[in-house]
Amino acid sequence: MSEKVLELKQVTIKFGGVTALDSVDFHVNRGEICALIGPNGAGKTTVFNVITGVYPATSGEILFKEKSILGLKKHQVTKTGLARTFQNVRLFGEMTALDNVIVATDVHKRTGLVRALFGTPLNRREERSGSERAHELLKLVGIDHRSDQLAKNLPYGDQRRLEIARALGTEPEVLLLDEPAAGFNPAEKAELADLIKKIRDTGYTILLIEHDMSLIMGISDRVVVLDFGQKIADDLPTIVQNDPRVIEAYLGVPADAS
Amino acid sequence: MANLKSRFNLRDFGANLWEGWNRQTRVTFTLVLIGLVALLPFAASWGPTSFLNTPITSFENVLVYPVGMFVLMALGLNIVVGKSGLLDLGYVAFFAIGAYTQAIMSTTLGWNTWEVLPFGIAFAMVAGVMLGLPALRLRGDYLAIITLGFGEIIRIVALNLKITKGPDGIPGIPNPPAILGLDFSLENPSHYFWLVLGMILLVIWMIRRFTIRRPGRAWEAIRQDEDVASLMGVNTLIYKLWSFVIGGAVGGAAGVLYASKTMVISPDMFKFEVSILILGCVVFGGIGNIWGVVVGASILAYLPERIRFISDARQLVFGAVLILMMNLRPDGLLPRKKREKLTKRGSL
Amino acid sequence: MNFEVITSQFWSLALQGLALGLIYSLVALGYTMVYGVLRLINFANSEVFMFGTFATLWVEVNLLGNPVATQPLHGFKLVGHLVLALVGSMIACALLAVLVELVAYRRLRARGASRLSSLISAIGVSIFLLEAMRIFTNSRPKTAPRLLEKWTFGEVAGANFRIDTMLVIVAPILIFILLDRFVNLSRFGKAIRAVSLSEENSKLMGININKVVTLTFMIGGLTTGAAAFLYTTVYENTVFNVGFTMGIAAFTAAIMGGIGNIRGAFFGGLALGMVEQFASAILGSQWKAVTVFVILVTVLLFRPNGLFGEAVQQTRT
């Protein structure tokens, strides 16, 4: 019943003398919310980067719906169905919130320069539908009232939400969220948790990097733990929470040291 | 965190005014404006505006070159530099390719300007692709150096090939044949001006259409954050290439027209300086902003013709303009609109 | 295309290529070091070079009183005049380089301006200096007095060992050795290397970035000034736009050696000098600039790391 929609097989990345990822091997099932956690520098964002084609893998394989996406260019990866947000918000600051999302919806359009120049019926249809979809997504994350404001002028929380809306604009099947709750207060985190669940329930699969344990425990179906570029745990949240190796990785001391 | 700067921004003032008008007002305003500009060739002989007259070359000729041509080329370069954020220091290459295409084809094959024009544009576009494919993978500064090199290579090639007749250049290029009752002999520079004006309007129309649709959004995304743009699905290489090619096409078209008017061209008309002059126009007016570029190019092209002192030290002034603009007013005279519309909304 | 020269004039071309290449490496330092600390191209370095050639001339003619048609000097007087001209050129260039940094880059850096803005600003400075000199010299080239009699003290396999060629080979090597020791052993040198690796961390360690940047520009100016002196001594004339082609060549040399890599600049310059000399002999000298550009494009596309250095970054996430 569970389809492995995203799979990393023995992925290793070496930069010069540094091994950022060491034979990392895990998968995400369709419809899951899978959390990727680990201490700072463990390699979590590196995983996102190698999936989305920002870094080349030194060895290993990455499969999306059973097909290899290794070596694809960034925009090709997105077109295939994976989209992400960023640890530090990276919006198109000088564009409106709406335009940020519309840019994302452009990826599946067929209008190119020629059709744009002549304003063909197809172009006009796609423009309309793109704009409508963008509004929908902004409503979904709760910031449609700010659609005409410049992204850089939005309050921090709304910027994070906008990033999610933008990523959704590319019509992904898998959404990669990189610390979406960073800088949120508990109330905002709870809202975000609900939003993520709502998104998943709409049919998306989510891979999520986070530091906030309660957030993760509350919504994740599975948790993958990285430390120094290696996977040290991959299981249900409650099991991982009590795994001594995980505790040691975070605290630096063995769980039973006194 | 909203930006509360209340400094008067001419661009935004104009834009807000424009947005307040209905379609009829907008059309009327545009037509009146175009009409007034079209009357410019007569300004030097009309009393109240005769102060505009230029000492060395007649005002009508100045309007064609350098003013009209610089505006046209600045618009073309603006697509590359302003929209996509790619620094092209060799824009003169496209201009040269257009000019030499006209020169060679008209003198050896006997074709007229209108027949050569599509070829001039096509060759410039091909050059854009050939330059762009390797160069656009590189980062900004390196792209700049490579484009500079390209511009120089074109000039050196023109200097050394038999077909381009080397340093003496190619004389005897015919004027364009008459269209719509306008003949393009040397006694009618105003006819050339209207032709260039027509091309400028066409280019502006083209740029506007791109801007509010997918290409404009893609370029803007690339300019703001290229890596994120590609992660959001924008095929950055293709769009950067397109901006190069379209910018090149405009430069090529300008070159064809230029050769037809001056009737003789030589490699020293296509030096690195020209690329810098055009860049100066774009920077001065406001990178990315069509109206800024038009106004900036007009001013920078016109002033040296009017004020002798500046003319002798034209490059010096340009260098100073670049330094001062970047340090003091990097957004240019008319800064890029703060809230550029990238999708169609409203009645127009 | 004359391929025959490869065999008939091999050593002569090689020697000339060596000399030319070493001049390139000195100027390349101005580009590579600045790039190392600022990640920006020091566009105006070409005009710093040009200024150095004129400074050399000025010192020799005006300061030391040698009219252009003078007889060559000998002994201590010769050495003294040459040294003064060299020092004069180096100081003039160092000062101009620091001025360039202040005008073109400093304010923009403080503001966190985009690279495009910095590059355009530097281009503006470059154009300004170029034009200023053009107006000042009325576009006319200037000749240098021949202080050093160019006697040939030997010939090996067709290569003439002239005294000035020897000077051009020995001096840069000495300069590079000195610079290498400075950068690796001195406190300032360590600071430069630290900023090259990470500006953020250097700031955290209490290093005054502005001082380091100024120092880097200054060193680049000194080496470029030395190159200008050597150039003037060999070619005995200069013109307002001599910097343009030199700049492109030196920049290419810096890229070939790996931009940011000081030792790389040495070898990059050598390599370029050699290739250019041979290509010029084979294809004819009018294609020199094109050859250099083609090399630049090829290196940037296929070996962007240069022969030794850091990768030209294409993405950054």
Structural domain boundaries of chain B? 63-271
Number of domains in chain C: 1
Asked if B89's CB is within 8 angstroms of C123's CB, the reply is yes
Chains that touch B (3 or more CB pairs under 8 A): A, C
CA distance B246 to chain C (A): 21
Domain membership flag for residue C282: yes
Domain membership flag for residue C247: yes
Which residues are CB-neighbours of B12 under 8 A, at least 6 positions away? Answer: B337, B338
pLDDT digits (tens, 9 = 90+) for B75-122: 999 999 888 888 899 999 999 999 999 999 988 888 888 889 999 999
Nearest to A113 among B215, B233, B234 (CB): B215
Question: Rounded to an integer, what distance in angstroms lies between the CA atom of residue C137 and that of residue C238?
Answer: 11
What is the CATH code for A1-81+172-258?
Answer: 3.40.50.300
Chain B: residue nearest C43 by CA? B145
Chain B: residue nearest A129 by CA? B343
What integer is the mean pLDDT of C108-118? 82
> Apex CA B137: angle with CA B136 and CA B141, to 5°?
70
Q: What percent of chain B has pLDDT over 70?
A: 93
pLDDT > 60? residue C296: yes
Chain B: residue nearest A100 by CA? B221
Asked if B318's CB is within 8 angstroms of C289's CB, the reply is no
Q: What is the pLDDT of residue C29?
A: 93
Give the structural domain span for C239: 10-302
Domain membership flag for residue C317: no
Question: Rounded to an integer, what distance in angstroms lies between the CA atom of residue C222 and that of residue C49?
Answer: 10
How many other CB atoms sit within 10 Å of the CB of residue A13? 22
ipTM of this predicted structure: 0.91
pLDDT digits (tens, 9 = 90+) for C55-93: 999 998 887 777 777 778 777 888 888 899 999 999 999
Chain B residues at the A interface, defined by Cβ less than 8 Å, are 1-3, 206, 209-210, 213-215, 217-218, 220-221, 224-225, 227-236, 242, 246, 338-340, 342-344
CB pairs under 8 A between A and B: 113
Domain membership flag for residue C203: yes
Question: Rounded to an integer, what distance in angstroms lies between the CA atom of residue C60 and that of residue B71?
Answer: 47
Which run of H or E residues covers position A197? helix A186-202
Structural domain boundaries of chain A? 1-81+172-258, 90-171
Q: Does A109 touch chain B (CB under 8 A)?
A: yes
pLDDT digits (tens, 9 = 90+) for B258-286: 998 888 898 988 988 889 889 888 888 88
The pTM score is 0.85
Which run of H or E residues covers position B229? helix B226-231
Instruction: Give B206's contacts in chain A (Cβ within 8 Å).
Output: 117
pLDDT digits (tens, 9 = 90+) for B56-82: 778 888 888 889 999 999 999 999 988
Question: Rounded to an integer, what distance in angstroms lies between the CA atom of residue A136 and that of residue A141?
Answer: 9
Query: What's the farthest any 2 CA atoms get from each other in chain A?
Result: 74
- Residue B232 vs residue A112, higher pLDDT: B232
Instruction: List the single best residue of C128, C294, C310 to mutate versus B (max B Cβ within 10 A).
Output: C128
Chain A: residue nearest C311 by CA? A16
Q: What is the CATH number of the domain that holds C257?
A: 1.10.3470
Alpha helices in C101-197 (DSSP H): 107-111, 115-137, 163-185, 187-197
Chains that touch C (3 or more CB pairs under 8 A): A, B
Evaluated on CA atoms A42, A48, A51, A53, the torsion sign reads: negative
Asked if B326's CB is within 8 angstroms of C296's CB, the reply is no
Token digits of residue C73: 């000097």
Residues forming a β-bridge with C152: C162
CA distance C302 to chain A (A): 18
How many other CB atoms sit within 10 Å of the CB of residue B202? 13
Number of H helices, E strands in chain C: 13, 4
CA distance A49 to chain C (A): 8
Q: Are B240 and B136 in contact (CB under 8 A)?
A: yes
Instruction: List the single best residue of B141, B152, B156 to mutate versus C (max C Cβ within 10 A).
Output: B141
Asked if C248's CB is within 8 angstroms of B327's CB, the reply is no
Residues forming a β-bridge with A27: A7
* CB-count exposure of residue A205 (10 Å: 0-12, 13-18, 19+): buried
At the top level of CATH, which class does the domain A90-171 belong to? alpha beta
Nearest to C315 among B227, B320, B326 (CB): B227
Domain membership flag for residue C87: yes
CA trace torsion A68, A72, A74, A75 (10° rounding): -90
Nearest to B240 by CA among B307, B145, B146, B140: B140
| Domain A1-81+172-258 identical in fold to domain A90-171 | yes
pLDDT digits (tens, 9 = 90+) for C195-249: 888 888 888 888 888 889 999 999 999 999 999 999 999 888 899 989 998 999 9
